[in-house]
Each structure stands twice: as structure tokens, then as C-alpha cells.
Structure 1
Amino acid sequence: MDNWDDMRVFLAVARAESLTGAAPILKMDPATLGRRITRLERSLGASLFVKSPQGYALTDLGERMRTRAAEAEAHLVLARDEGQGASSGLTGQIRIGAPDGAANFLLPQVCAAIQADNPALEIQILSLPRVVNLSRREADMAITVSPPVAGRLSVQRISDYHLHLATRVDGPAITRRADLKSQPVVGYIPDMIFDKELDYLGDLGANGVQLASNSVAVQLQMLRQSGVGIVHDFALPFAPELRRILVDDIALTRSFYLVRHISDRQSERLNTAAAAITRGLQAEVARLEKIARLTDTPVI
């Protein structure tokens, strides 16, 4: 490659696997990107991508080049971080990928506090109904509910969190499992559960869901209308119409993990941000779960 700009264009298209996907990242139109890739391939005398209506797939040469280009990018990021210095506070942009439970009910408060302490910092929260792909640099770090078992990644357990069955405060009295049979179940769309830790039907003993969404936030809105469903304790303070039920009978515990690129562990800036996010999430989970326990409504 002739310069860093060529590398930046190549990496963006390789990660997005399409010109249209890379265009907003680079703030360039797809036609211009196509010309840039064609020019780059001509200068190399070889194809980097196999083009099709489905997108841009890397050739063997493209795969090898992406590995080297990503390594160079990581070194440039480290050099930039060292140049910024640690005493001036966090600066630049940090993108955090997270499942939508954490993205909706935890990260907004945590990130707002971190940004207030670091006014030159831009924080982006990427909420996706799937595992965030760090190898394609979709984010700088990710919150997950299962530790990854593959890839050059570092994994740190953040905190346990708890889930219970919930229903409307003014709904029918439910004092035993048998009472659940008369209520519609709210939960995930079964074939869109992207992590086994999100499959709660076995714990609930239900055969299926009558009101379903791939979004935790939408499920919470469904429960505000009717039905029963498994809810994060930390989400309940945002839905005062709901109460926990069968607390001693149906109780789930899951964990959040912070996942990062191995190479980013050398970045003081990202280490500082990761530590702040970890502390913030631990405190926010504890705070919101305490509120959920204190506001349990007894069934009379």
C-alpha cells in the first residue's frame, strides 16, 4: 500500500464486507470507495477482494494483508495514545458494544459520568442483537454475557447480575408456578437468541412465548401491558408498573464480561477507560438491584 489512507480504506471495506457498509465509516460515497479499491488492486497487481452482489469477500492475499494492516493500525493507535498523555484525561472516541439490556439500562448512566469527568472524550454505545465483532473493529471493547472462547481477546469478569419473573403490579395474584399457566409469557424470539445465557425458557418451565421480541427493552414494554416474563432486576426501577414474583422459586444469575483486543492492553488510554467502565457497571448494577429489592410489592 502506498500510504495510510489506502490502508484505512482497505481495512474499512474488509471489515464491513461491502462498499455501502464502509461508506458511512469513512464518510465517503460507495462509488468513490470502489474506485479506490480498484486503484489499490491495480497498484498491487493482484485482487484483494472477490466482488459479488452479496458484497466484498477477501481473497487469500486480502486476508494476509488485513492481518498486517490491522497490526499496523494497532501500533498507530498506541502511538497516538502515548502522545495524548495520561494527565490530560481521556480524549478521542471510544465505542462500546453491548447487549441491549446493558446498553439500555446501565451504560447510559455509566458513560455519562465518565464523559462528565473527561469532557474531551466521545463515547459511543453500540447495541446489537448479536455478539459484537471485535476482530472487525466494530467496537473498541464489548460487554458480553458469555466469555468468548476464540480469538486474540482478553476477558475480564465485571459483575454478576440477577433476573426474576415479573408481572404488572395490578395483575392477577401469582403465588405458585401453577398460576403461570393462565398468563401469556413474554420473552425472546426463540430462533433469534444469540447467546445460550439468554435462553430462560428452561428455567421458567415454559414451552414457548406468546409475546416475543429480540429486544429486552421491547419485552419490558410488553410486560407493562400484560403477561409474565424474566426481567433483569436492574431494569425494574425503570418500570414501576412491574413487580417481581415467585422470587424464592425462580431466580437466575448471569454475569457480564468485558472483552477487548489483546493488543489494546498496551494502551493506557483504553486501560483507563476499561477500568472506569468496569467500576461504573459494578456500582450501577448494585444500585439498581437494591432499588428493585426495596420496591418489591407484596401480594395480598
Structure 2
Amino acid sequence: MENWDDMRVFLAVARAESLSGAAPVLKMDPATLGRRVARLERAMGATLFVKSPQGYALTDLGERMRDRAAEAEAHLSLAFDEGQGASAALTGQIRIGAPDGAANFLLPQVCAAIQADNPDLEVQVLALPRVVNLSRREADMAVTVSPPAAGRLTVQKITDYHLHLATRADAPPVGSREDLRSRPVVGYIPDMIFDKELDYLGALGADGVQLASNSVAVQLQMLRQTGVGFVHDFVLPFAPELCRVLTDEISLRRSFYLVRHTSDRQSDRLTRFAGALMRGMQAEVARLEQMARLTGSPVI
């Protein structure tokens, strides 16, 4: 391998599993990345990726190399942090993995505020319908709805949040559970629920869902058309045409956690960012949930 820049290209393609996915991260075009990967493989004398129309999948050697490269990247990040004073503005790139409810409706405004205070900071939000793999350095930190049970990870609770049933405000009134029987249920695709905390059907007592998606944003668009389903209270201000129903009878409470790799505790830069992120999310959840109690209030 000729230089660290080759390793940076390799890691980006490995994480994105495609040239087109890695291109925006590196600010390079896919054709250039393809040439760089081919050059790296020639220099290594080995195949690192299996190329197909579906993308770039790592070979066994590529997987071993990715893990070592991710460790080297983490140590380089720590070395970079040593060069920054504790009072200096945050710089460089920080990537956060998050479920799409938080990624769509909380993190944009929270991260924008942090970046405004740190103009040389680049914040990336990775929204995935699964748990982000920090061990493979898919992200620097992750927001989750359950604390991980294994791995060399540190976990901090960010805040509680609430969910209630919601439907269109102009739909026939819902006064009891019986009134729900004739409404299609909107929710997650059952076999794609990646965390038990996202399985809400038991609380509703429904046998299944009639309109389903693995995306909170898509579920919200479905509810804008018809049906009834659980919606985060912090999402409701973004959809003033929806209203909460049966709030005294059916209510869910869940929590967000911030998960980091244990070795990153030495990084002052990441620790300072994590603190700002947690404070921002706590304030934003409280603000939006307060608005949700005022049915039909627009986001301001």
C-alpha cells in the first residue's frame, strides 16, 4: 500500500459497499474510485472486493484488512485529537449512526446547531434500518433504542421519548379500541423489526399490519393517507394533519442511548461532540413533545 489515502478509499468503499455510495463521502467521482480500488488491488497482488451489479462485497482478505484499517483509523483520530486544545472548536469529520426516526426528525436540527458553533466540523448522519456496527467503524458513535448487550462499547442514556396512536384529524372520531377495528394499521414490516423496542403491535392488540414499512418516514406518509399507527410524539409536529388518539389508554415510552467504542473515551473531540449531541437531543425531544400536546401545531 502506497499511502494512507489508499486506505481511506478502501475503507469508504468497504463501508458503503459501492462506489456510488462512497463517492459523496470522499468527494470523488465513482469512476475515479474504481480506478483507485483497482490500483490498490494490483499493488496488493490480491482481490479485496467481489464486484457485481449489487455493489462491492469484501473478500475474506478484504474483511481482515478492513478491520485492521479501521483500528489504524481510530488511532490516527486520537493522534489528531491530541493536536487540538480542549477549548478549540471541533473540526474534522464525525459520523453518527441512528434509526431513521431520530435521523429524520431530531438529528438534522441538533447537528445543524452543533455545526453552526463549529464551522470547520463536518457531521454525517447515517440512517439505517438496522443496528450500526461500531466495531467495523461504520460510524464514530450511534444512537440506539436499546443498550447493546455485547462488545467493547460504552453506553449513555440520552433521554426517554413517547409514542401514541395517531390518525388523520379529519378521520371519524376514535373513542375506544373498538373504533380501531375498521381502520388499517400502519407499522413496521414484522420480519424487518431489528430491535424488540420497535415492536409495538402487542400494545395495540392488533393481529398484523395492513400498511407497513421499515422506515418511520414512510409510515408517516402512509398515515397521512389513511389508517392508524404509533407515532413518536416528537414526529407529530411535522405532520399537523395527524392527531393523537386514546392517549389515556394507550401510551408507550422508549429511550435513546448513545453508544461509542470504548477506545474512543480517550478522544476529547468525540467526547465533547457526544456531550453536545446528548444535550441537543434532550432539548429537542422536550421541545417537540411539548408541541405534540397541542394538536395541529406546526413546527417552528
TM class, shorter-length: 0.7 to 0.9
Q: After TM superposition, give the deviation of residue 164 of structure 1 in Å.
A: 0.9
Q: Does the aligned pair in 2 maintain the 1:235–1:288 contact within 8 Å?
A: yes
Aligned-partner Cα distance in 1 for 2:199–2:78: 39
Q: Does the aligned pair in 2 maintain the 1:174–1:180 contact within 8 Å?
A: yes
TM-score (norm 2): 0.86
Alignment partner, residue 230 of structure 2: 230
Q: After TM superposition, give the deviation of residue 296 of structure 1 in Å.
A: 8.8
Percent of aligned positions that are identical: 79
Q: After TM superposition, give the deviation of residue 285 of structure 1 in Å.
A: 1.2
- Confirm or deny that 1:172 pairs with 2:161: no
Alignment partner, residue 265 of structure 2: 265
Q: Does the aligned pair in 2 maintain the 1:49–1:56 contact within 8 Å?
A: no
Alignment partner, residue 47 of structure 1: 46
Indicate the RMSD between aligned Cα atoms, in angstroms. Answer: 2.7
Aligned-partner Cα distance in 2 for 1:52–1:112: 36
Aligned-partner Cα distance in 1 for 2:192–2:3: 42
Aligned-partner Cα distance in 2 for 1:119–1:38: 35
1:3-42 pair list within 5 angstroms: 3-19=3-19, 21-28=21-28, 33=33, 36-37=36-37, 39-41=39-41
3-state SS of paired residue (2:50): strand
Unaligned runs of 5+ in 1: none
Alignment partner, residue 135 of structure 1: 135
3-state SS of paired residue (1:182): coil
Q: After TM superposition, give the deviation of residue 41 of structure 1 in Å.
A: 4.7
Alignment partner, residue 292 of structure 1: 292
Change (3 A) 1:186 1:67: closer
Alignment partner, residue 276 of structure 1: 276
Partner deviation per Cα, 1:114-146 (whole Å, 9 max, x = no partner): 222222222222222222333343322211112
3-state SS of paired residue (1:51): strand
Q: Does the aligned pair in 2 maintain the 1:158–1:278 contact within 8 Å?
A: yes
Change (3 A) 1:162 1:135: same
Q: After TM superposition, give the deviation of residue 6 of structure 1 in Å.
A: 3.0
Alignment partner, residue 74 of structure 2: 74
Q: Which moved more, 1:272-281 or 1:8-17?
A: 8-17
3-state SS of paired residue (2:217): helix
Q: Does the aligned pair in 2 maintain the 1:111–1:277 contact within 8 Å?
A: yes
3-state SS of paired residue (1:234): coil
Aligned-partner Cα distance in 2 for 1:226–1:153: 41
Q: Does the aligned pair in 2 maintain the 1:154–1:262 contact within 8 Å?
A: yes
Letter of the structure 2 residue corresponding to residue 256 of structure 1: F
Alignment partner, residue 117 of structure 1: 117
3-state SS of paired residue (1:244): strand
Q: Does the aligned pair in 2 maintain the 1:47–1:59 contact within 8 Å?
A: no
3-state SS of paired residue (1:183): coil
Q: After TM superposition, give the deviation of residue 162 of structure 1 in Å.
A: 0.8
Unaligned runs of 5+ in 2: none
Give the length in aligned residue pairs: 296
Q: After TM superposition, give the deviation of residue 10 of structure 1 in Å.
A: 3.2
Q: Does the aligned pair in 1 maintain the 2:70–2:137 contact within 8 Å?
A: no
Change (3 A) 1:97 1:226: same
Q: Which moved more, 1:266-275 or 1:193-202?
A: 193-202
TM-score (norm 1): 0.86
Change (3 A) 1:171 1:35: closer
